[in-house]
Structure 1
């Protein structure tokens, strides 16, 4: 059905383009509007199918599990990095961050819309505020590592861990 929607979008666009250049001074508005309706109905079909897919029970359950698992992994990896930061050379910390966190962060980010679908937009905002702050602090720690600023790197790693813990706690409280 989604393919039908994309076909309607394509046909509507091409027909509208063709109609608009056949007679430049005298556009056949009836045909042009029909082409527009084809394209708009294709857009509507694609959006409806996408919305159904994102809100299906199986997809919601799988994404919620992905969210919980990936955020727990992030918190665990942040704790490890904070515990080991005194034994890791400042110029190597960004390599450790790159090696241990991107997959979990990407998995969480890819599934994040599920929070709004499963709970509410406010719950989504609450979790994502902490998560985004954690990401920003982690990026700052990464930058401090590449520049050799030991104290700042340590501070931002701790702040990132705190924010990710808050995000995890908020997400866990939604499930309870």
Structure 2
């Protein structure tokens, strides 16, 4: 309900500002300034309210276990285990099997984690997010390259990407673990 109200204030403010600005012909109509100022104020108020509500939802999700540095570390560790398992078994896999093993990693835990990147960016802040996410993004890209190479019939090239993906996801895990570690007071 608060989100609906904030959106309504935003839309009404925009409409008022539009009607007010339409009154600035020669001569300026009575009330044009008032409508424009009221509309701009309502638009800003609605936008700020939406932003505050969004931050509150993110904070509630983090406090309720929806998002937390420890959850990020756990998700990255799951991906790391799957990449390590894949890298260990890759030598004995043909191109089709290799692609079939990579696909569920990309479409499962990588997709789920990647779809929450904006929420984690807000939760962690830009600097901490960049430290963690750069490793994840590199690993995801390398896995996608390996999948593409395997499906194109180049399994050796695909296998060569896996240690690099493992290294990148391990770096992301280390950064996430450092964020999730309790700090001494």
1:11-160, aligned counterparts within 5 Å? 11-21=12-22, 26=28, 28-56=32-60, 58-59=62-63, 61-64=65-68, 65-112=70-117, 113-114=119-120, 117-118=123-124, 120-160=125-165
Give unpaired runs (5+ residues) of structure 2: none
| CA–CA separation in structure 2 for the residues paired with 1:84 and 1:109 | 25
Give me the TM-score of the superposition, normalised by structure 1.
Answer: 0.83
Superposed structure 1 runs of 4+ greater than 6 Å apart: none
Give me the TM-score of the superposition, normalised by structure 2.
Answer: 0.80
User: What's the offset of the Cα at 1:74?
Assistant: 0.7
Give unpaired runs (5+ residues) of structure 1: none
Q: Deviations over 1:80-134 (max 9, x none)?
A: 211222232213433332223322113322444436635x533222111211111
Aligned residues: CA RMSD: 2.5
